Amino acid sequence: MPLFGFRKDKKHEQSHIQAQAEMAKATAPGNKGKAPARNFKSAKPASISKAVVTKDEGAAKIGPAMPKGGFSDASDAVVRPRITEKSGILSQGGVYTFEVANGANKPAIAKTVAALYKVTPVKIAIINGPSRRVFVRGKRGVVPGIRKAVVTVKKGEKIDFI
């Protein structure tokens, strides 16, 4: 019987009947404790390689795996500059605020800022902002926390975000 103008086609009905038959076999008294057979492939790969493949001058080169907490590219540690009224005031004194990745540490952030903005970081402070529960339009939700880095650069150096 069509509902809302939709009709089931023959293929859909046959696959539905097959699925019901498989479920009946799995729940039969002789199959206690056995899981029903599934026809989809697992999302997990068979094996995970520990080597990183990089291209160097057209030839593939196998190097060691990245250490824990390492970043493959210089720009991965810093997500974006954090432009707010307070950070604008701080930037007049050579202190800049960035949103950073969760796994970023101070040396990685210093290296990234030096590479991206051509400045010398002198001091770095990391701030982990907590996540907050919110209630919007009658539904509960969570605003994710943020990880910020406050970077002080060498006197006389400046970063232009525009």
The H-assigned helical ranges of 27-160 are: 85-91, 106-117
The whole-number pLDDT of residue 40 equals 47
Q: How many whole angstroms separate alpha carbon 135 and alpha carbon 90?
A: 33
Which tens digits make up the pLDDT trace of 5-23?
Answer: 555 555 556 666 776 677 6
The whole-number pLDDT of residue 18 equals 72
- Phi and psi at residue 109, to the nearest 5°: -65, -40
* Residue-range domains of the chain with CATH: 78-153 (3.30.70.330)
- Give the confidence band of 34 by pLDDT, cuts at 50, 70, 90: low
Give yes or no for residue 113 having a pLDDT over 70.
Answer: yes
| Range in 14-18, 98-102, 110-114, 156-160 the model is least confident about | 14-18
Q: What's the token pair of residue 35?
A: 């899981």
Q: Give the bridge partners for 55, in sequence order.
A: 60
Helix (H) or strand (E) holding 22: helix 10-26
Give the rounded percent of residues in the chain with a pLDDT score beyond 70: 56
Q: How many CB atoms lie within 10 A of CB 74?
A: 14
Which tens digits make up the pLDDT trace of 46-93?
Answer: 555 555 555 555 544 444 444 445 556 666 899 999 999 999 999 999
Instruction: Classify residue 6 by its DSSP letter.
Output: B
